[in-house]
Amino acid sequence: MEPCDYLVVGAGSAGCVMASRLSEDSRKSVLLIEAGPSADYFWINTPAGMGPLFLNKRYNWAFTTETVPTLGGRTVYWPRGKTLGGSSSVNGMVYSRGHPMDYDHWASLGNEGWSYRDVLPYFRKSECNERGADAFFGGDGPLAVSDPVIRHPSTQDFVAAAVRNGIPEIRGLNAPPYEGVSYQQFTIRGGRRESAYTAFVKPVLHRRNLTVLTGVQVLRIVLRNGEATGVEVIQDGARRIIHAAREVILSAGALASPHLLMHSGIGDAGQLRKFGIQAARHLPGVGQNLQDHWFAPFLMRVTPDSSYNGHLVGWRKYVEGMRYLLTRRGYLAMGSSAVSAYVRSTPDQPQPDLQLAIRPMTSNFLPSGQVVVDPEPGMSGATVLVGPKSTGHMALKSADPLAAPAFHPNYLGDEDDIRRTLIGMRLFRRILATEPLSRRIVSELAPGPDAVTDDQLLDHLKQAGSTGWHQTSTCKMGRDEMAVVDPQLRVHGIGRLRVVDASVMPRITRGNTSAPTIMIAEKAADMIRKSPLPPWQAAPR
């Protein structure tokens, strides 16, 4: 298998798609490398396992940011998947494409071929939507997309209360009009998590031209005469070089891909010199433009019939567990927040910039990392700013490629982000206070009834707010001086090297980022297959 034609680094949401699609050509060999272990674990395959996986360092990189001045000096925990499927094996499984204007904006920045009209076919290509195929949804793709198995009465009342506040109820959030309140869809197949690995790679492992390696840590990209010729790895405790005859495809994610570029001498030359790394290509945008979604959490004590906490505590949790094992249904087959509203903070916003989400359960993490459902009936919710203006950056902390970089997210660094999130928090409260949902609310525990003024709500947003775990845009696509890749996702100035993952987004999409990342990989694989590079002439045989 060496040299392979295509070497894909990272078996996450993008890497699994790349390996699957490129290996459809039986004449080309594909090697997929993953640093983490296999995904053969009960809680990975169980939708409710996102809680137990949240702090599990075997399957989670468990990053932590540097102190964030805009949050009063807090650090923020950033879970990222470390297994086959990457973060699609540990996330909340929400299938959200974002808004069409997101992609039209990408195209307007000089990224031809990335408008919504251009990318819609690739969303449809990947999708096997249980609602069937039409002009917007795919019906026979590898990735299962399904509706919630349970529509809890509390979520139905949330929809009704939102409508009474002027938010229209719509059939779905991934088709016109893209604005309103509706049930979300999830990457769940038959009650089991559908990760990028189970959808795209596992069904084609029989292909003789596809090899998947786990437990292999990539240290750097090997460059020769301005081209990528392979990667240096640690495998079974030893360093070795793995060669690629045609292309190296970096799909390690928005945090690891820029990190690997820097350790390969691709980044800001001045910063690299500080760590003794000779610059092979000065690209100052590597690691810059870091974006994420930040949300304000809500916690409510509710009437017993308004929460499914009671089904997941005491002896009832064993009944629920048996129900899941026998039927693949019930509360263990649920993804994260089943219903969401996408709204504009003000009428002059060109598209929705806020997401309001609710879930009829509450839980806590013990110091051991174990997740425990609250014994009292509770409901959780969130106001998410899906159109942030704030951007941060990441940087090297060490010359050791195994040392995590420094993450500086700069949450709420733009005053307009604060203003719009506060508007969303007040709207969320109005929905909670509206019938029929209001009759279910016993009390608001967080932010709490004493948090009334903007300053008090802002304090909650800073102290209790959290990330949507949607880090993107650190190797942005474009043609300006801070761009890292071109519209074909080729690294500027380096041959035979592409970045294909969420890091290439010029701006973060207005929704969860797993589905757009899969789309990016579908489009990238298509571009590569339509215009394959000839084998590198000096590649060892």
Q: Is 492 among the annotated ligand-binding positions?
A: no
| 61 assigned to a ligand binding site | no
**Binding site annotation covers 43?**
no
Helix (H) or strand (E) holding 159: helix 153-164
Domains contained in the chain, CATH given: 4-530 (3.50.50.60)
Q: What is the pLDDT of residue 541?
A: 45
Task: Give the whole-angstrom CA distance, residue 272 versus residue 267.
Answer: 7
CA within 13 Å, CB half, 62: 11
Confidence at residue 267, expressed as pLDDT on a 0 to 100 scale: 98
Token duo for residue 72:
């009063």
* 294 in a known ligand binding site: no
Can you give the pLDDT at residue 369?
67
Burial of 337 (0-12, 13-18, 19+ CB in 10 A): buried
Note if 243 is an active site residue.
no
The per-residue pLDDT for 303 is 98
Report pLDDT for 224: 95
At 509, list the tokens: 């999409």
Main-chain dihedrals φ then ψ at residue 35, nearest 5 degrees: -75, -30
Of 43, 10, 337, 42, whose CA–CA distance to 196 is shortest? 10
Pairing verdict, β 281-282 and 266-267:
parallel
User: What pLDDT score was predicted for residue 378?
Assistant: 97
* 470 annotated ligand-binding residue: yes
The DSSP bridge partners found for residue 248 are 7, 497
> Which candidate in 243, 259, 293, 470 is catalytic?
470
Cβ(206)–Cβ(496) under 8 Å?
no
In the chain the first and final C-alpha atoms are separated, in Å, by 10
Q: In the chain, which stretches have pLDDT less than 50?
A: 541
Helix or strand run (H / E) with residue 319: helix 316-327
